[in-house]
Homo-oligomer: A and B are copies of this chain.
Amino acid sequence: MRLTIDLTEEKPLYQQIRDQIVEGIAVGLLAEGTPLPPTRRLAADFGINFHTVNKAYELLRREGLVRLHRKRGAVVHVSAPDAAAWADWEARLRILLAEARARGATAEEIQERCRRILNVLMRPAAGEA
């Protein structure tokens, strides 16, 4: 799977990396057990410090999406969200949806956009890894 970073983005580099891996898992490009590149190699590819990649991996570990081993490296390992994780997620979703509502979008229009995005995320993405 192809990973990229954008130094001009306001979004932190470790967050960009984390987000792309999350999307990769969501669409199935990164299946359970798939190894991620070693932090040093990915950092070298990006031309950034390996601590930054480390931070992204550590974040993914805390979120329950990867397992980290010495020598074996980082491996995709999904664990279902607990109640607290769901509550946190819904709080963030609530703010995002409120933003659209506040600016005049109808509930139907918002739901349609959610549906379209989920459709894309559900598309089987085999052979693109």
| Min C-beta distance of A114 to chain B, whole Å | 5
Q: Is the interface of A mostly helix, strand, loop or mixed?
A: helix
Q: Are B81 and A22 in contact (CB under 8 A)?
A: no
- Taking a contact as CB atoms closer than 8 A, the residue among B80, B95, B98 that contacts A103 in the complex is B80
Q: Which residues of B contact A36 (CB under 8 A)?
A: none
With A and B bound together, what is the CA distance between A107 and B95 in angstroms?
20
Given contacts A23-B95, A100-B89, contact A118 B107 (CB under 8 A): yes
Q: Are B80 and A97 in contact (CB under 8 A)?
A: no
Q: Are B99 and A113 in contact (CB under 8 A)?
A: no
User: Residue-by-residue, is A89-129 near B (CB-CB < 8 Å gives 1, otherwise 0)?
Assistant: 11011111111111111010011011101111110000000
The 23 sampled A-B contact pairs (Cβ below 8 Å) are: A22-B98, A23-B98, A25-B98, A25-B102, A27-B98, A65-B102, A65-B103, A79-B103, A80-B104, A85-B103, A92-B96, A93-B96, A93-B113, A93-B117, A94-B117, A97-B114, A97-B117, A97-B118, A107-B118, A107-B119, A107-B122, A111-B114, A111-B118
The 4 closest A-B pairs by CB, nearest first: A26-B98, A26-B101, A25-B102, A26-B102
